A and B are shown apart, each in its own frame.
Chain A
Amino acid sequence: MTVTVYVPKDSSALSLGAEAVARAIEREAATRGEAVRLVRNGSRGLYFLEPMVEVMVAGERYAYGPVDVTDVPGLFDAGFLKGGSHPLGHGRTEAIPYLARQQRLTFARVGITDPASVADYLLHGGYVGLKNALAMAPSDIVKTVTDSGLRGRGGAAFPTGIKWKTVLDQPVEQKYVCCNADEGDSGTFSDRMIMEGDPFALIEGMTIAGLAVGATMGYIYARAEYPHACRALATAIDAARNANFLGDNIQGTGRRFDIEVRLGAGAYICGEETSMLESLEGKRGEVRAKPPLPAIEGLFGKPTVVNNVISLATVPVILAKGGEYYRDFGVGRSRGTLPLQLTGNLKRGGLVELAFGCSLRELLYDYAGGSATGRPLKAIQVGGPLGAYLPESQFDTVVDYEALAAIGALLGHGGIVAFDDTVDMAHMARYAMEFCATESCGKCTPCRIGSTRGQDVIADIKAGHRRDENLTLLNELLDTMQYGSLCGLGGMTPYPVRSALKHFPADFGPQRA
């Protein structure tokens, strides 16, 4: 009997040798005369167990990991094709606590299905949302998304339904849906995991957005740094087109929607929505002044929905199960779930999707098991390179947009980078300025000049050179950047700098007694 074996084709799994493991399993099976069907799934997000191989035994999946090529003959000897016990075995995948305790809505299929197969997507509840949407009036689709409480998962947390309504209300023939897949924040990979592990969820979400606002064309702005994700997207878009889920006559309804992937070129600023639109138009990625909002004048001057990958990939489950179903998860004004990315110096890094309301401490210790190096955690950066650094005393803060804002921090795209006690926070503050200088589009002065001056001033403070005057100067500079920049790059670089100064003053050189 043919046994189905899963070896992820996710970039992170590949980065630890998943391709070689897949080849070794094929070879070993052929040598031993075992019939094996290899499925290249996405990752379950248990990155500390990658490459994680799964075997289907009597309708249940059993996990083994981390598997090295040299482990493969031993796995066969141990009868892993029948779920046999082995030191790398973890039993039923679904029962692994890290996974079992999660609330996966957006990531329900990631790591489970074959990301190249429409049939597999349909088998696991895919395209139920689109089927419902095809029978609804556009305004009802928008209302369902509004009712769900979904807020932009790229980081700005703007209510998705309100954005869609603005586009729907524009009396214009040509509109667009643009997916912002320019996931440049350090400490984030949830967009990549969707594109590599369940690209049809994104395609379905964009199609529903198109039906909702009256757009017939969608663009995905993807990263040059993500070649595997781009290939997975291209394969899935072709498959969706062949199965009539994209094109001129979706499922015979006469409705039209298609998607094109456009490749960015290594500019962090293009994750800012107006800069992304400029780039999609083939120009330098310089930010636009707002207003006009992209929802009114967006791509090529037309009304445009700009949403992040996670926002769009969450739309199918909302349309499948209803706005209330999604809204019933979460706390306060943060409704639904958030895929959190536990990264950096952590023992068990990976993706954890939970309803809003869990604490940072729970994520860092219960899930991630503390630092990888075994040293105490000194700081975490939440929300990407423009997010604040939090000390241990703030780890009880809960994952909730408003709770983070209340302590001068932000949730952003849900990435958490952990640092042990060897980190020099003055160095990280200076690095934040350096990153801003490297990635500034140059259009506005506070960001372009401020980021370079910021590096110098922090170096002077650290060196003890006219420390007090330079601290005053730095604070004034941070105000200028925060309130005078055209977009979030210059406007938010003060977050990591200010928080480092506030919580870790000892790292900024000797203070006068």
Chain B
Amino acid sequence: MTAFSAADVSLVERIAADLAHKPGPLLEVLHGVQHALGYVPADAVPVIARVLNLSRAEVHGVVTFYHHFRSTKPGRTIVQVCRAEACQSMNGAALEAHAKARLGVDYHGTTADGRYSLEPVYCLGNCALAPSVMIGDDIHGRVTPARFDALLEGEGA
């Protein structure tokens, strides 16, 4: 893992300071940091805590409570496969198994080339067109294993 640089520290400080005036700003700050760095590194926690005048434990507790916040660096593209009931009713389990086999990782894993991270998701709100995946910010419906492969190829995998 790359070291947390002085530039990273000042970036996190700036994000936190810009939002500190808002009521209850911590989630907003964490979204900002994750948007900028791709994750919330452990080294960012004391910086955020200092700027927002919170304890490290409070910040750490929030980071780890929410599925969306990552403490490790993700692959360049995050692939989310829906596990919820509507997708299961359209053989989502087969799609999940296929996605894991195709990428060669389990959920929360990142491919060895650092291209993809695979995450489960519980409902993308596309339940009439199940099963669904989200690749980056792009949602796809009625995804068969073959279509999943085609979508990844479209991404240049």
Whether B128 lies near A47 (C-beta < 8 A) is: yes
Contacts across chains A and B counted by CB atoms under 8 Å: 153
**1/0 per position for B1-34, CB-CB distance to A under 8 A?**
0000000000000000000000111111011000
Q: Which residues in B have their C-beta under 8 angstroms from that of A265?
A: 27, 30-31, 66-69
Whether B139 lies near A14 (C-beta < 8 A) is: yes
Whether A282 lies near B27 (C-beta < 8 A) is: yes
Q: Which residues in A have their C-beta under 8 angstroms from that of B124?
A: 11, 225
Q: Which of B28, B84, B141 contacts A186 (CB 8 A)?
A: B84
Q: Which of A184, A263, A350, A439 contacts B31 (CB 8 A)?
A: A263
Whether B122 lies near A439 (C-beta < 8 A) is: yes
Give Cα A264–Cα B88 distance, bound, in whole angstroms: 25
Whether B127 lies near A266 (C-beta < 8 A) is: no
Give Cα A223–Cα B121 distance, bound, in whole angstroms: 12
Whether B85 lies near A344 (C-beta < 8 A) is: yes
Whether A225 lies near B121 (C-beta < 8 A) is: yes
Q: Which residues in B have their C-beta under 8 angstroms from that of A423?
A: 89
Whether B129 lies near A47 (C-beta < 8 A) is: yes
| Residue from the set B88, B126, B127, B139 with the largest chain A CB neighbour count within 10 Å | B127
Whether A186 lies near B27 (C-beta < 8 A) is: no
| Residue from the set B23, B58, B121, B125 with the largest chain A CB neighbour count within 10 Å | B125
Give Cα A226–Cα B90 distance, bound, in whole angstroms: 21
B99 interface residue per 8 A CB criterion: no
For chain B residues 38-69, which have a beta carbon within 8 Å of chain A?
58, 61-62, 65-69
Q: Which of B28, B85, B130 contacts A385 (CB 8 A)?
A: B85
B137 interface residue per 8 A CB criterion: yes
Q: Which residues in A have their C-beta under 8 angstroms from that of B89?
A: 344-345, 417-420, 423
Give Cα A385–Cα B88 distance, bound, in whole angstroms: 12
Whether A186 lies near B127 (C-beta < 8 A) is: yes
A381 interface residue per 8 A CB criterion: yes
Whether B67 lies near A266 (C-beta < 8 A) is: yes
A89 interface residue per 8 A CB criterion: no
**Nearest CB in chain B: distance from A349 CB, A:** 3
Nearest A residue to B80 by beta-carbon distance?
Answer: A225
**1/0 per position for B117-154, CB-CB distance to A under 8 A?**
00001111111111010100111111000000000000
Q: Which residues in B have their C-beta under 8 angstroms from that of A343?
A: 86, 127-128, 130
Give Cα A140–Cα B27 distance, bound, in whole angstroms: 37
Q: Which of B23, B87, B88, B123 contacts A185 (CB 8 A)?
A: B123
For chain A residues 329-387, which have a beta carbon within 8 Å of chain B?
341-346, 349-351, 372, 381, 385
Q: Which residues in A have their C-beta under 8 angstroms from that of B80?
A: 225
Q: Which residues in B have their C-beta under 8 angstroms from that of A285?
A: 65-66
For chain A residues 250-298, which have a beta carbon within 8 Å of chain B?
262-268, 279-286
Whether B86 lies near A187 (C-beta < 8 A) is: yes
Give Cα A12–Cα B121 distance, bound, in whole angstroms: 16
Whether A267 lies near B127 (C-beta < 8 A) is: no
Nearest A residue to B82 by beta-carbon distance?
Answer: A186
A48 interface residue per 8 A CB criterion: yes
| Residue from the set A186, A286, A423, A441 with the largest chain B CB neighbour count within 10 Å | A186
Give Cα A193–Cα B124 distance, bound, in whole angstroms: 12
A83 interface residue per 8 A CB criterion: no
**Nearest CB in chain B: distance from A340 CB, A:** 11
Q: Which of B86, B87, B125 contacts A11 (CB 8 A)?
A: B125
Give Cα A279–Cα B25 distance, bound, in whole angstroms: 10
A188 interface residue per 8 A CB criterion: yes
Give Cα A385–Cα B26 distance, bound, in whole angstroms: 29
**Nearest CB in chain B: distance from A233 CB, A:** 14
Give Cα A192–Cα B128 distance, bound, in whole angstroms: 13
**Nearest CB in chain B: distance from A452 CB, A:** 17
Whether A372 lies near B90 (C-beta < 8 A) is: yes
Give Cα A227–Cα B126 distance, bound, in whole angstroms: 13
A435 interface residue per 8 A CB criterion: yes
Name 19 extra pairs, CB < 8 A, besides A187-B127, A192-B125: A11-B126, A47-B128, A183-B125, A223-B125, A224-B31, A225-B121, A225-B124, A226-B125, A267-B68, A282-B26, A282-B62, A284-B65, A346-B128, A385-B85, A417-B86, A420-B89, A428-B85, A431-B85, A438-B122
Task: Please report A residues at the B interface, Cβ cutoff 8 Å.
Answer: 11-12, 14-16, 47-48, 50, 183-189, 191-192, 223-228, 262-268, 279-286, 300, 341-346, 349-351, 372, 381, 385, 415, 417-420, 423, 428, 431, 435, 438-439, 441
